[in-house]
Amino acid sequence: MSIKSVKRFILFFSTALFFNSSFAQIKDELGSIHGNFQIDAAYYQKDTIIGADPGSELFRYNAFGNINYSKGGFSAGVRYESYNPPLIGYLPGYKGSGVPYRFARYKHKDIDITVGNFYEQFGSGITLRAYENRGLLYDNALDGMRVIFTPKNGITLKGLVGKQRTYFSLSPGVVRGIDGEVNIMDLFDSILGQSKTKVILGGSFVSKYQQDQDPSLVLPENVGTSAGRFTVIRGGFNFNAEYAYKINDPSYQNQFSYKEGQALIASTSYGTNGFSIMFSGKMLDNMSFRSDRNATNTIDMINYQPDFSKFHTYSLMAYYPYATQPNGEVGGSGEIQYKVKKGTWLGGKYGMDITLNGSAYYALDTTGIDPRKDSVKHVKYTTNYGNVGNEYYHDFNIEITKKFTKKLKMTLMYANQFLNQSIVQFSTRDKEEHPDVYANIGVLDITWKYKSNSAIRFETQGYFGTYDYKDAKYHSNGEVNKTNNTGSWVSELIEWTPTTHWSITIADQYNYDNPIIEKRIHYYYGMIGYVNGPTRVSVSYGRQRQGIFCAGGVCRFVPASSGLSISISSSF
Amino acid sequence: MKKIILNSIAIILAAITVFSCDFVQNANPVLEPVATTTGNSSIIYRKVLVEDYTGHKCGYCPPAADTLKYLETKYHGKIVPLAVHAGFYANINATYPTDFRTTVGTDYDTQFGNSASGNPNGLINRVGYGTGSFIKAYTSWEGYVVPMITETAKFQIKISNTFNTTTNSLNTDITVKSLAVNSGTYKLVVLLTQDSIIAEQLDYSLPVGSQTITNYEFNHLLRGAINSAWGDAVFTSGAGINDSIVKSYANFTVNPAYNASKCHVIAYIYDADLSGSNPTAYEVLQAEEAKVK
């Protein structure tokens, strides 16, 4: 793509967006129309130093637009999406264009009916969670019908049936579900209704149907998951827990095990002025639940197995992110936030925020069953719930944010992380090529607001990794195999915001300590951003390192990429 | 109040009854005598192209190769197996030095997105291009194969090979006969495969420390295209019943490093109307294989 065509491209989309903005919020007796648009496009180039080879399709984009109409209790909407082809790193099955989401909804008094596509969540989502995450290009919207019935204040009943979105088509399985929730205190108008303690009880049942076409196995065509939950709230205190049970559900994900699935999820929190504390715990065993038993990647998931680990925004803190192990795990997380008061020795003039966060996850303690003794039931393994297995991951971190003067603010962060790379990323116990990783990571982030509406932000990060080579493979020359070891990294970033509209960012990630000298590479990156009301435009140029993305026994290699990216979004 | 609670309970119970659960006591089906699908010898059935997209560094891939072997044994002569090594897991390194990648295999992998969707996976007659069920997990292959092998074929393919052992030169004549009134756009692709190659393969099902199999046997391995990845047009203006066409490919040199006696010629005819509105774009309508010598 020539510079001229890039210019034309930017002009076209900018004009289109400003044109739309001029119609902002058409509100009159005809109802109101809202919408939003986004396009992320990239023009890739070959970069032999980082091993980026985009092939012949150099221009790729992810684009979508929502248009919703509402009047009184009626609403309807459509979403158009286009990926020809999708950006590097996204599932290629999304290639194409279409309208995968359209709905009509009507609410009147105690009844709320939706036909077409909808998103829904029952409880924590362990039995059903239909949602979208546009950043990950995850969308398991249901296409069918949903009824929400509120017969009395404090009682909500939901029933739904539909098929899940699978790229631009639908899953072969049908999902049926019901959910009921009762807020005990709201039912009573008497003294109990004015109680400071609130108790909410809920239960759900979700079943899927998929035809058995397998000539060599008897597969359950109807598979059900049921769950019960409760929440207690009093003042700043909150406790909630949910238990779920799934019947035999052989699938590609669990290697066609007929074992039942179980989950126990609980969390509690307490918050008061300047202080909060939170703990969450979970035990998940064979709870992957999909509407297509042969689905892989993140396709056709009916439920959501929660992840309580901290979502890091600093790039090197998230160098090895953790994802819930779909076949089972046990663990938890905790967080304490404390605001040091103004005027104290530590707090100074503006106070200081301290956050302590930690999470750790372990394998279930499982024992494989001898296939000769398991030829009828195909259960494959048993679980000892009284114990835990090997460690998968931990992340202990502290974050301190302090404002020194009106102009100067600083964030300091430290983390200690461990990753059982072979299991979590490659689903194998083989540590020959995938050694355990231990890392200490530090971040210093300083923002200097040199005048009103203008600031410069400096960010420096260091990732100091060590690898456990006790099970590593040795080459014939006696040297240890370090194929998947990238050693340590540093990252520097400067972000200049001269006005509230514009920002310029320059960044570099440097793999200074890669054991292979040729791989000690700079991953540079530059971006210019423009924001005006709801409209955001950014143009960036740089390198993205390669990575492996695994979900349940299927690993997808996300190749390194290099090139020019443009992102435009707006809403009205 | 009491009425509401009772009604709610009744609704929930009714719903649970409707959404029944299937508890399986015995995962093994009761074996029934298999009806012979080719009982009527005058009917020509559709042969199914079963493609396994794989790589020697893909530790989860051996079960997919086992599935291909199982299907080939169980439905012998009714399927045409093909193993395509492409993508990240087919790259070579010091432990896996044998390069099984081919230009044609990489072309397919790029067009169909197999390795980018995570290996292993496969295609069954390339049915469902542009839909979510196009790329198929190996555990579902048999379920797709079974109904297809009982379909009456729209085309018949016959392969006639002559091989010169001195020059390693192959002449192949492919006869395509239309068995129905076919009004679409069709192309013929002719490929070379090889069996019984011994090399290294990663297998995650083995104990830690011995997951590299050094003497793994690779079968149905795609070695290259005899014409091209997307083939030559046949019956450009539709075909009537019994219309026949012969495509000859002469003097194709089989790499001397390949054992020609273990090589096969694979020929398939596919729907080459690739306009977005065609739901059967790329679908393979008939496939055939024959030994090189």
Tell me how close the Cα of A90 comes to any Cα of chain B, in angstroms.
Answer: 8
Q: Which of B28, B113, B208 sits opposite A218 (nearest CB)?
A: B28
User: If contacts are CB pairs under 8 Å, which of residues 444-503 in chain A contact chain B?
Assistant: 471, 473, 475, 483
Average the pLDDT over A356-381 and give the result: 92
Q: Whose CA is closest to A413, among A462, A342, A347, A349?
A: A462
Q: Which two tokens stand for residue A382?
A: 């048993």
Q: Which of B113, B142, B211 sits opposite A214 (nearest CB)?
A: B142
Categorize the per-residue pLDDT at A19 as very low, low, confident or very high, splitting at 50, 70 and 90: very low
The pLDDT, as a whole number, for residue B32 is 60
Q: Which helix (H) or strand (E) holds B66?
A: helix B62-74
| Main-chain phi, psi angles of A17, to 5 degrees | -70, -45
Which residue in chain A has the smallest CA separation from B202? Answer: A430
The pLDDT, as a whole number, for residue A9 is 45
| pLDDT of A429 over the 80 cut | no
Q: Which of A96, A180, A430 sits opposite B211 (nearest CB)?
A: A430
- Using left for φ > 0, alpha for ψ between -120 and 50, and beta otherwise, residue B26 falls in beta
Q: How far apart are the first and last CA of chain A?
A: 31
Chain A residues with beta carbon closer than 8 angstroms to that of B89: 557
The pLDDT, as a whole number, for residue B142 is 93
Average the pLDDT over B207-220 and give the result: 89
Among A161-170, A510-519, B37-46, which is the least confidently predicted range?
Answer: B37-46
The pLDDT, as a whole number, for residue B16 is 54
With tokens 């009917």, the residue in question is: B43
Q: What is the pLDDT of residues B58-67, one digit of tens each?
A: 988 999 999 9
Q: Whose CA is closest to B138, among B199, B71, B207?
A: B71
Q: Which helix (H) or strand (E) holds B147?
A: helix B141-148
Measured between CB atoms, does B22 come within 8 Å of chain A? yes
The pLDDT, as a whole number, for residue A118 is 98
Beta-bridge partner residues of A278? A269, A335
The pLDDT, as a whole number, for residue A227 is 97
- Rounded Cα distance between B29 and B33, Å, is 12
**Non-local CB neighbours of A328 within 8 Å, separated by 6+ positions:** A284, A285, A286, A287, A363, A364, A366, A383
Q: Do A426 and B208 touch (CB under 8 A)?
A: no
The pLDDT, as a whole number, for residue B5 is 54
- Rounded Cα distance between B104 and A228, Å, is 54
Q: Do B28 and A92 touch (CB under 8 A)?
A: no
Among A242-256, A478-492, B208-222, B276-290, which is the least confidently predicted range?
Answer: A478-492
- Rounded Cα distance between A254 and A296, Å, is 11
Greater confidence, A421 or A416?
A: A416
Q: Are strands A31-44 and B263-271 parallel, antiparallel or unpaired?
A: unpaired
Categorize the per-residue pLDDT at A483 as very low, low, confident or very high, splitting at 50, 70 and 90: low
Q: What is the ipTM of this complex?
A: 0.76
| pLDDT of A480 over the 80 cut | no
Measured between CB atoms, does B146 come within 8 Å of chain A? yes
Measured between CB atoms, does B35 come within 8 Å of chain A? no
DSSP state of B139: G
Categorize the per-residue pLDDT at A472 as very low, low, confident or very high, splitting at 50, 70 and 90: low
Greater confidence, B12 or A52?
A: A52
Average the pLDDT over A40-56 and give the result: 89
Q: To the nearest 5 percent, what fractions of chain A are helix, strand and coil?
A: 5, 55, 35
**Non-local CB neighbours of A252 within 8 Å, separated by 6+ positions:** A293, A294, A295, A296, A553, B137, B139, B140
- Rounded Cα distance between A302 and A121, Å, is 10
Measured between CB atoms, does B39 come within 8 Å of chain A? no
What angle do the packed helices B62-74 and B141-148 form, to 10 degrees?
Answer: 20
Report helix, strand or coil for B112: helix
Report helix, strand or coil for B8: helix
Report helix, strand or coil for A490: strand
Q: What is the pLDDT of residues A65-122, one digit of tens each?
A: 999 999 999 999 999 999 999 998 888 889 899 999 999 999 999 999 999 999 999 9
Beta-bridge partner residues of A232? A199, A239
Q: What is the pLDDT of residues A298-347, one digit of tens each?
A: 899 999 998 888 888 898 998 888 888 889 999 999 999 999 999 898 88
Mean pLDDT estimate for chain B = 89
The pLDDT, as a whole number, for residue A27 is 52
Which residue in chain A has the smallest CA separation from B20? Answer: A222
Among A353-367, A394-408, A441-455, A555-569, which is the least confidently predicted range?
Answer: A555-569
| pLDDT of A550 over the 80 cut | no
Q: How crowded is residue A538: how many other Cβ atoms within 10 Å of its Cβ?
A: 17
Greater confidence, A296 or A402?
A: A402
Q: How much of chain A, in percent, has pLDDT values that exceed 90?
A: 66
Q: Do B1 and A152 touch (CB under 8 A)?
A: yes
Q: Is the dihedral of CA B94, B96, B99, B105 positive or negative?
A: negative
Q: Do A215 and B94 touch (CB under 8 A)?
A: no
Q: Do B142 and A216 touch (CB under 8 A)?
A: yes
Q: What is the pLDDT of residues B68-111, one digit of tens each?
A: 999 999 999 999 999 999 998 999 988 899 999 999 999 999 89
- Rounded Cα distance between A277 and B232, Å, is 69
Which residue in chain B has the smallest CA separation from A181? Answer: B8
The pLDDT, as a whole number, for residue A445 is 97
Which residue in chain B has the smallest CA separation from A426? Answer: B59
Looking from the CA of A107 toward its CB, the CA atoms found within 13 Å total 8
Report helix, strand or coil for A67: strand
Q: What is the pLDDT of residues A292-303, one digit of tens each?
A: 999 888 899 999
Q: What is the pLDDT of residues A491-513, one digit of tens each?
A: 999 999 999 999 999 999 999 98
- Rounded Cα distance between A242 and A240, Å, is 7
| pLDDT of A285 over the 70 cut | yes
Q: What is the pLDDT of residues B122-131, one digit of tens each?
A: 999 999 998 8
Chain B residues with beta carbon closer than 8 angstroms to that of A471: 208-209
The pLDDT, as a whole number, for residue A556 is 59
H helices then E strands: how many in chain A? 2, 32
Q: Do B59 and A426 touch (CB under 8 A)?
A: yes
Categorize the per-residue pLDDT at B9 as very low, low, confident or very high, splitting at 50, 70 and 90: low
Average the pLDDT over A109-137 and give the result: 93
- Rounded Cα distance between B129 and B151, Å, is 20
Q: Do B21 and A167 touch (CB under 8 A)?
A: no
Q: What is the pLDDT of residues B248-273, one digit of tens each?
A: 999 999 999 999 999 999 999 999 99
| Full 3-state SS string of A180-235 | EEEEHHHHCCCHHHHCCEEEEEEEEEEEEECCCCCCCCCCCCEEEEEEEEEEEEEC
Q: Which of A167, A169, A296 sits opposite B137 (nearest CB)?
A: A296
Q: Which of A167, A178, A295 sits opposite B12 (nearest CB)?
A: A178
Categorize the per-residue pLDDT at A14 as very low, low, confident or very high, splitting at 50, 70 and 90: very low
Q: How much of chain B, in percent, has pLDDT values that exceed 70?
A: 89
Report helix, strand or coil for B109: helix
Greater confidence, A148 or A482?
A: A148
Q: Give the torsion through C-alpha atoms of A80, A82, A86, A87, to 10 deg.
A: -80
User: If contacts are CB pairs under 8 Å, which of residues 217-256 in chain A contact chain B?
Assistant: 217-224, 247-248, 250, 252, 256
The pLDDT, as a whole number, for residue A23 is 46
The pLDDT, as a whole number, for residue A53 is 84
Burial track B164-174 (b if 16+ CB lie within 10 A, e otherwise): eeeebebebeb
The pLDDT, as a whole number, for residue A20 is 46
CA A208 to chain centre: 24
Beta-bridge partner residues of A144? A116, A162
**pTM for this one?**
0.84
| pLDDT of A150 over the 80 cut | yes
**Non-local CB neighbours of B52 within 8 Å, separated by 6+ positions:** B61, B64, B65, B67, B68, B81, B82, B83, B84, B120, B122, B138, B220
